[in-house]
Structure 1
Amino acid sequence: MREKNHVRNVNNRNEMEAVGDYYLNNKTLGKGEMKMEAAMKMRIADIGDEIVSNKGIKGKVEMVKENSVIIEILENLSDREYVNNRTVVSHKNYVII
């Protein structure tokens, strides 16, 4: 099981980094709660925005499509390994930081 030491408190409400559990507004949110919080604030990212995926991938948006974005991976806090430094993330699976 992953430790929660990857989670850090942030001053800016729109900024977060996390793996598994998410820290926002001075409380820890589980994945289900995080998805509800994200759905309430969901907006589609623009080119150049930085996002954090539900899987713990932090990246910069390079291309915006109808249902997803292509990002350049800046930080990988997940257990997954990627062959290159880009990946596709669905609009419903990220938050803008």
Structure 2
Amino acid sequence: MKWATRASIHIDRAACAWLIRRHIDPDAEFVFVTDPAEVPANATAFDMRGVELGHHQGDCSFETILRHYHLDDPVLWRIAQIIHEADLDDERYDAPEAPGLDVALRGL
């Protein structure tokens, strides 16, 4: 299956791609676009404005994907808290490792 997201790498997009490949679609093929209008018709969009698998109700895309696919592993939800804080920095969760993870990924 094809999956599409924005071209520039960021913590939520990278984590979502990992989640998709490891827990949803092991044969996932990723397409990177600069505009949501460029998403191929045969691709599922994620972490873009206005898409089902994006930010909703204060959640980051990683959390949205966990809910959408009914992934309830507590370890994945702990990862979601870290990703949420690294992406949104809204102090919803106690995730002191989030800023360091975000900085490390930005350096790649």
Alignment TM-score, normalising by the size of structure 2: 0.28
Which structure is higher in helix share?
2
Which structure is higher in strand share?
1
Return the structure number with greater relative CO, CA threshold 8 A, min gap 6.
Answer: 2
Alignment TM-score, normalising by the size of structure 1: 0.30
Highest Rg: 1 or 2? Answer: 2
